[in-house]
Structure 1
Amino acid sequence: GNGEEAVRVLAVDGDRLILEDGPRRVLGPGESVNIVDPSLRIAGRLTERDEAYLAAMRELGLRRVMLSFVEEPDDLAAVRGLLPEAELVAKIESQRGLSFAPRAEARLMAARGDLFLELEQPHHVLRALRQLLAVDPQAIVASRICDSLAWREEPSCQDVTDIGCLLALGYRTLMLGDEVCLRRDSVLAALDLIQAIARETPEVELRTRTRGARTQREPAHV
């Protein structure tokens, strides 16, 4: 979900949830629901589709896997059991995942889309970002980046300052969200914005990359 609606679960009836009020509209295909109560436990690790994807990767010699909602060692072990040479990125998206992060034998990602919704208080996301970077200085930060560019040509003030904050914290690898990536123009606008902010951030070391006849200076790993 995007966090714009919240409801209280009163009871569980088989595969149905009895809600106190709402949601105010019917959820559409592909929309997610975050159940943030710490008592929630999901049975199993991988779906049949997950296993099929991993089997296809093994046949094709692919190894890089981003694994969502990593919260304990068995989450990583389930993938490595099917793809032993997997290069894993553990997406940290919950409080339980934050607690596990120091023990995760994988590169970390601060997956802010769900992480922001799963934390007890909204401002705890800043502490979470610092915590993950302390554990993994090469951690990736993803989602809720340049979202305004998905809907308009000019970025919002919030997006500009958000990128500056992430760079100042020490993040050097940023991953855009789905909505921004639906159009080529919005992707290029987001990359240009990150580039411009990085140039004005003293802590960011710039490198030079040549493309054809053009030479561009860009932030390392961004």
Structure 2
Amino acid sequence: MVPFLAGCEGPLSSLAPAGPAAAQIAVLWWAMLAGAVLITLMVLALVWRGFAVPPHPRPGESFWIHGMGLGFSLAVLAAVVGAGIWVGERLQARPDPEAIRVEAIARQWDWRFRQPGPDGRMVETRGRLHIPAGRPVDVVIRSEDVIHSFWVPRLAGKMDALPGRDNLLRIQADAPGLYHGTSAEFSGTGYAGMRFEVLVWPPADPPDLTAEEAE
């Protein structure tokens, strides 16, 4: 079991959440896994019973066919769908006066970011987004060429970057640190290297972005 649990860690693991949106997504993932395990065990039990019990009708067949085969499966699926709707509703970005607005611009095959510096001036960096810890951040995502997808697994779900259209994704990090992101949409031969970083800084210690400002 330990080797399998070790696979849940890593810089691009959505099962090691570091923000509220990612935590909700992780809860949904575990709920879907639990539902799949329960239905798999029920199917295996039905297969075992089909081979172990003689084919002529016996008492209790209605329980296995209607109660387990239909009732149990529908109850598990309803619970999983309900969890998905609940999580999806909580992930909707609502207006928040505390939210910081930044921009993520994708192109083959890198990312540029525009974020407010300490003096309020918008600063553009390449390959690294800077955000404060503990505050919601609205990321305006766009593409300059083909479809890409902005994804920081430990902070939030993914959002497509579409040419000619702006999409909005809210992310938030609970603690300072360096988080890894990637494009989750194949966009050509350089797609594998289309990675970026999100540097989360303590609110009381904003970084000097001039050294990283894109030329």
TM-score (norm 2): 0.25
Bigger Cα Rg:
2
| Larger proportion of strand | 2
Structure number with the higher helix fraction is 1
Say which structure, 1 or 2, has more relative contact order (CA 8 Å, 6+ apart). 2
